[in-house]
Amino acid sequence: MPDTHLAKNLILWRHADAEMCAIGQSDMSRALTAKGLKQSRVMAVWLKKHLPKNTVLVVSPALRALQTAEALNHQVIIEDVLQPETDVAEVLRYLHQHTAESILLVGHQPWLGELIAVLLDAGDGAISVKKGAVWWLRLKQPEDATYQLLTVQALQLLDTD
């Protein structure tokens, strides 16, 4: 990787539960289900309590990701590089160009899990990220882009009643 700035905090949020793709519907236009809207609100409450000040919120242009992020009521940056079928190398290039100290990405499997695997040096493949879950990575060794897992917050651990 190039010798560039890396975010101290990289928070990864998979979109919440979404509708199945209907015949003739674009994958990008899939909306959250009622369950997904509730999931995003529940996780947003947790995130608001814990996000560092000045966290930059970067979101996939897919409707379900935008709706997930909307629950935070925070200014968003929409980036095409975070589309559902993007290559993890493109996401890494984007992150190396970003100057924020804390970044929250709202996106999709499989690239979220692939990104986590790369940043945690967990080998090839992808880590399973459940819908609506948050994975929080913290930069451990800036000189070699080593991250460590700070926390995983799953919806099952939050009060969803």
In order, the DSSP letters of 35-48 are HHHHHHHHHHHHHH
For residue range 99-133, what is the model confidence (pLDDT) as tens digits? 999 999 999 999 999 999 999 988 777 799 999 99
Tell me the C-alpha distance between 161 and 159, whole Å.
6
What pLDDT was estimated at residue 157? 73
Q: What is the dihedral of CA 129, 79, 6, 70, to 10 degrees?
A: -60
Strand partners, 105: 12, 58
Rounded distance between C-alpha atoms, residue 155 and residue 17, angstroms: 11
Better-predicted residue by pLDDT, 157 or 76? 76
pLDDT value at 136 more than 90: yes
Taking residue 18's Cβ as centre, other Cβ atoms within 10 Å add up to 21
pTM to 2 decimals?
A: 0.92
pLDDT of residue 1: 41
pLDDT, tens only, 15-25: 999 999 888 88
Is residue 86 within 8 A of residue 28, CB to CB? The reply is no
Burial 54-65 (b: 16+ CB within 10 A, else e): ebbbbbbebbbb
- C-beta separation of 112 from 84 below 8 A: no
Amino acid code (one letter) for 151: T
Q: Which domains does the chain have, with CATH numbers?
A: 9-157 (3.40.50.1240)
Closest-CA residue to 54 (of 5, 106, 102)? 102
Percent of the chain scored above 90 by pLDDT? 76
- Decide: residue 11, CB within 10 A, 0-12 exposed, 13-18 middle, 19+ buried: buried
